[in-house]
Amino acid sequence: MIKLLVGILVFVINTVYRDRPYPRFYVLETVARVPYFSYLSVLHLYETLGFWRKADWLKVHFAESWNELHHLLIMESLGGSAFWGDRILAKTTALIYYWIIVILYIISPKSAYHFMELVEGHAYSSYQKFLTEQAAELKLQPAPAIAISYYRDGDLYMFDEFQTAPSSEKRRPQVDNLYDVFVAIRDDEMEHVKTMVACQETNAQISFKSPHTLANSEITDSFANIPSD
């Protein structure tokens, strides 16, 4: 079922937008945000009903949706949403997939995360192919202002938050031109894949943590350093 859902999405995008890369990426990023909204909706519902609280999952999934939002804003700045038909298709597809993933997440969170792992993997491959084919042209074009704001000049807390794979240093993408922007977006997609894989681990309910979550020892140390009155 998961492969069928992803296959339908990929087929529609590849067929309708074969020679229109920016509208294609606009539709892809519009739909790619939706599963994170689905996860958040169900997690909030569970917390409201008193089942359990997963603050770290809420933080990471919101950061993922925030990252996808900026991918979407970049595509809009490049004209990807200029045609009304593309906007209708993207939003209609997103609405359908929202409810599908909500139901799937309630039934099987692991399957819902696997769905997004495949979608983000497809996005990575799509951006990689685009970069290979259009490298020379992209390097001659300036980076959109929204990309510079998100990747370089803005508050990078949210950018770091969705990247849960262990790393010795934080990612700081270059944004000197449009090619750099697409490299950053491509690499973001792989970080999403890694995070979705981590969410599917057997002990994820216990071990999955936000990148900014302090270990118990660090919390103890931070309180110890607070001066007393």
pLDDT computed for residue 224 by the predictor: 40
Q: Quick one: pLDDT band at residue 58, thresholds 50, 70, 90? A: very high
| 189-205 pLDDT tens trace | 999 999 999 999 888 77
Q: Quick one: pLDDT band at residue 12, thresholds 50, 70, 90? A: confident
pLDDT tops 60 at residue 228: no
Please give the backbone phi and psi of residue 2, each rounded to the nearest 5 degrees, phi first.
Answer: -60, -50
Percentage of the chain exceeding pLDDT 90: 70
| 96-119 pLDDT tens trace | 999 999 999 999 999 999 999 999
Q: What is the mean pLDDT of residues 60-73?
A: 96
Q: What is the mean pLDDT of residues 207-214?
A: 77
pLDDT tops 70 at residue 187: yes
pLDDT computed for residue 216 by the predictor: 41
pTM recorded for the entire structure: 0.87
| 22-46 pLDDT tens trace | 999 999 999 999 999 999 999 999 9
Q: Across all residues in the chain, what is the average pLDDT?
A: 88
